[in-house]
Structure 1
Amino acid sequence: MAWKFDNNVPIYIQITNTIKLQIVTNQLKPGDKLPTVRDLAETAGVNPNTVQRALSDLESEGFVYSVRTTGRFVTDNLELIQETRLALAQTELENFVTNMVDLGFGQDQLVQQLDDYLKGDLNE
């Protein structure tokens, strides 16, 4: 089944971000072998050159590494994975706070809404 892509963002960036997210959420674990370019391209429903570009970017960023004639593997650099996880969390928090402020919530109200949500009291 082909992946769903946003027309406003280059596909190779979306593939890069998807694989990066799979790494930081431990869906892909350190040392895991990635599918081949051809297999990923078929799964995503895109040209193999697009997948190759995404994987090259991931490799240059340190998220994957190549072993000649064996394939690509997820990095064992846990510091990089954790730093990326925290950076993604920061972005999500910024989006959340911005949206809540746009809805008219002040800081105290925002914290109370979040606290209620985490306690499961939001709809009570």
Structure 2
Amino acid sequence: MEFDDKVPIYYQIEQYIDRQIIVGDLAPGDQIPAVRQLALTLTVNVNTIQRALAELIRQGILVSQRGKGNFVTTDTAVLAAMKKRVINAELAETYEHLMGLGMTPAEMLAALEAYIQERKDRDAHD
């Protein structure tokens, strides 16, 4: 994983785990790798991993079971809220970029619809 120097590493690790859950690499109830294993895999300090996991536990996305490890919550409402938060953050960033280009919301919608159609057409031919 490559890290962005402008964003705290622990936060990027939180986002990485959020995305793994959203795409199904980590399912509800799955145990996540141990702290030391994550630190080795992501080549970061153990304390950084612990900080990211502590935040995910605080948010209810992960559940800690003493002596067993950390698990993805099975609470579908928590996972749905997390997914919505991640999607909204992506949309907010795109919106700000497009506003910076001087686009109106109507132009953004038209451009997005055209882009989606082009992608569907291209993907159908691949």
Which TM class, normalised by the smaller chain length? 0.7 to 0.9
Paired with 1:11 and 1:84, the residues of 2 have a C-alpha distance of: 19
- Write the distance in 2 (CA, Å) between the matches of 1:9 and 1:100: 22
Show the counterpart of 1:6. 4
* Counterpart Cα distance in 2 of 1:62 and 1:111: 34
CA distance in 2 between partners of 1:31 and 1:67 (Å): 11
Rate the CA distance shift 1:32–1:117 in 2: closer, same or farther, 3 A: same
Q: How does 1:28-47 map to 2 (within 5 A)?
A: 28-47=26-45
How far apart in 1 are the matches of 2:24 and 2:57?
18
Q: In the alignment, is residue 80 of structure 1 matched against residue 78 of structure 2? A: yes
Equivalent in the alignment of 2:65:
67
Quick check: 98-107 or 13-22, which moved more? 98-107
TM-score (ref. length: structure 1): 0.85
Q: RMSD across aligned C-alpha pairs, in angstroms?
A: 1.7
Larger deviation: 111-120 or 20-29? 20-29
Shift of the 18–95 alpha-carbon distance from structure 1 to 2, 3 Å rule, reads same
The aligned counterpart of 2:106 is 108
Which secondary structure state, in structure 2, belongs to the residue aligned with residue 72 of structure 1?
Answer: strand
In structure 1, stretches of 5+ residues that fail to align are none
- Relative to structure 1, the CA distance from residue 99 to residue 9 in structure 2 (aligned partners, 3 Å threshold; closer, same or farther) is closer
Report the equivalent of 1:15.
13
TM-score, with length taken from structure 2: 0.84
Bigger mean CA deviation after superposition, 98-107 or 72-81: 98-107
Unpaired segments ≥5 residues, structure 2: 120-126
Amino acid at match of 1:69: G
Alpha-carbon distance between aligned partners in 2 of 1:52 and 1:106, rounded to the nearest angstrom? 42
Q: Structure 2: how far apart are the matches of 1:12 and 1:58? A: 10
Alignment coverage as a number of residue pairs? 119
Quote the sequence identity (%). 36
Structure having the larger proportion of residues in helix: 2
